[in-house]
Amino acid sequence: MIWEELTHQLESLSKENLTRNRRTLESSCGSHAVVNGQSMLAFCSNDYLGLASHPVLANAVCESAHQWGTGSGGSHVVSGHMSPHDQLEKALAHFVGAERALFYSTGYMANVGVVPTLVGRGDAVFADRLNHASLIDAVQLSRADHRRYAHCDMAQLEKMLSESTAKRKLILSDAVFSMDGDLAPINELFELAEKYDAWLVLDDAHGFGVLGKEGRGSLNHCKLPFHPRLVYIGTLGKAAGVSGAFIAASSTVIEWLMQRSRSYIFTTATSPVMASALLASLKLIEQGDDRRRHLQTLIARLSDGLDNTRWKLLPSFTAIQPVMVGENDAVLKVSAKLAERGIWVPAIRPPTVPKGSARLRISLSAAHTDEHVEQLVHALKEIK
Ligand code: PMP
């Protein structure tokens, strides 16, 4: 029968320790989350600034729901684009220093929406090997040639660019890598984009709100101003504490996306309530230097705490602090031992990361205290 194959595939996933399991949370996920009636110290959320449970955002949601209703009722290009969406786009563009911005429902949709709009058959995308899955899918949707260079290897990227005969070229990279936490060589990427007349598309899902002056993101951190060849994607479900994403670029690119980007056009606009919450969040991000400073203190504390232990953190100065373990069963065991101690750190396995590089992905948040990090360090030291 046609479904039997699926049963076998599920069995083989389980044998390889690759089954994904989800926990149902009985509370919001701040520094702690309640699971099965137990409060766990949580290092698993991308709510890097601790804004997802902020009362100012909750109030913005309630007020907005009364004024605008809960649903947009239409696509942005028909009847779903309301004042909160419009204000948000203008505020986001201004915040990151771009001419214009376009608000998408999720980062996944922004990514699959932008790449096929800029390149197609006969063109080539030059992509970092560790790019996020949504960027990989975006290239496949575009039908452009997918050329992948070793992680942050600028020499290999330049060789590929110089040998390419593609009509249009696009360089595509995470700005902060989602499972490693390191920053892409953004200035070098831009120089190569200039030299070979390519687009540069950067996904700053994990840098927006965290890096740069007042949280303006990775481009700001690297002091790279906007340019007509630069397309920036920020997501709003992580540091911004809500959901959604935006693309910031030149007016021409944004206008073209509005005309052609299928995941922007053929979907219902996100609820105006979310846009209102995001407007409130943007102000908190801008005023969030204390939160960002605290986050940096926690990062330093974790790295000092694990120094000279068997747990090796990958080099990262962002909120994503991965500990490399290697094998799938080993990482599952460590994660389970932490859970026994009331600590939640997710085990990340292939295909999310390359085979043999399973890891603990510790996400720090400004919602954590020094003591929380100490607790984690202590627990890791105890585990054999
Ligand atoms: N890009 C990167 C680098 C991500 O890590 C993620 C989410 N994990 C996304 C895009 C997708 O964003 P969203 O969750 O808003 O769909």
Question: Given the CA of residue 131, which atom of ligand 1 is nearest to it?
Answer: 3
User: Starting from the edge strand earliest in sequence, which strands make up the sheet with 100-104, in order?
Assistant: 100-104, 245-249, 230-235, 199-203, 169-174, 124-128, 145-149
Q: What is the ipTM of this complex?
A: 0.99
Whether pLDDT at 376 is above 80: yes
In this predicted structure, what is the pLDDT of residue 75?
Answer: 98
332: Cβ contacts below 8 Å, ≥ 6 apart: 17, 347, 349
- Residues with a catalytic annotation lie at 178, 206, 238
How does DSSP assign 123-166, residue by residue?
A: -EEEEETT--HHHHHHHHHHT-EEEEESTT-HHHHHHHHHH---
DSSP-assigned letter for residue 25: B
64 confidence band (pLDDT: 50, 70, 90): very high
Alpha-carbon torsion, ordered 182, 183, 189, 190, to 10 deg? 170
What's the CA gap between 244 and 104, in Å, rounded?
A: 6
Residue 57: exposed, middle, or buried by beta-carbon count in 10 A (0-12, 13-18, 19+)? Answer: buried
The answer to whether residue 221 scores a pLDDT higher than 90 is: yes
- Nearest Cα neighbor of 289 from 365, 239, 216, 215 is 215
Please give the pLDDT value at position 211.
98
CA 237 to ligand 1: nearest atom: 15
Name 360's bridge partners.
Answer: 323, 347
Express each pLDDT in 226-250 by its tens digit: 999 999 999 999 999 999 999 999 9
CA dist., res. 296 & res. 294, Å (int)? 5
d(CA 246, CA 105): 8
Average pLDDT (360-379) is: 98
Per DSSP, the three-state class of 5 is helix
Give residue 384's pLDDT band: very low, low, confident or very high (50, 70, 90).
confident
Structural domains of the chain sorted by starting position, each given as residue range(s) with its CATH number in brackets: 21-49+288-382 (3.90.1150.10), 56-286 (3.40.640.10)
Residue 252, phi then psi, degrees to nearest 5: -65, -45
Q: Distance between terminal CA atoms of the chain?
A: 46
In this model, does residue 17 exceed pLDDT 90? Answer: no
Residue 301, pLDDT above cutoff 80: yes
User: For a pocket test of ligand 1, which of 211, 235, 238, 352 has the largest count of ligand atoms closer than 8 A to its C-beta?
Assistant: 235
With CA atoms as reference, report the closest residue to 217 among 180, 186, 250: 186
Mean pLDDT of the chain: 97
**Which of helix, strand or coil describes residue 122?**
coil
Identity of the amino acid at 341? R
pLDDT band at 85 (very low <50, low <70, confident <90, very high): very high
pLDDT reported for residue 83:
98
Query: pLDDT tens digits for 118-144?
Result: 999 999 999 999 999 999 999 999 999
Interval between CA 47 and ligand 1 midpoint (Å) = 12
Owner of token pair 């750190």: 345
Tell me the two tokens of residue 133: 């899955």
The verdict on pTM exceeding 0.90 is: yes
Q: In the beta sheet, which residues pair with residue 245?
A: 104, 235
C-alpha angle 186-189-195 in degrees, rounded to nearest 5: 145
Ligand 1 neighbours by CB, cut-off 6 Å:
106-108, 111, 132, 134, 174, 178, 203, 205, 235, 237, 245
Residue 366's identity, in one-letter code, is A
The answer to whether 117 and 140 have CB atoms below 8 angstroms apart is no
Binding site, annotated residues: 20, 107-108, 132, 178, 206, 235, 352
Q: What is the pLDDT of residue 144?
A: 98
- Residue range 268-296, pLDDT digits in tens: 999 999 999 999 999 999 999 999 999 99
Q: Which of 281, 270, 321 is nearest to 53 (CA)?
A: 281
| DSSP labels, 180-191 | T-PBP-HHHHHH
Average pLDDT on 174-196 reads: 98
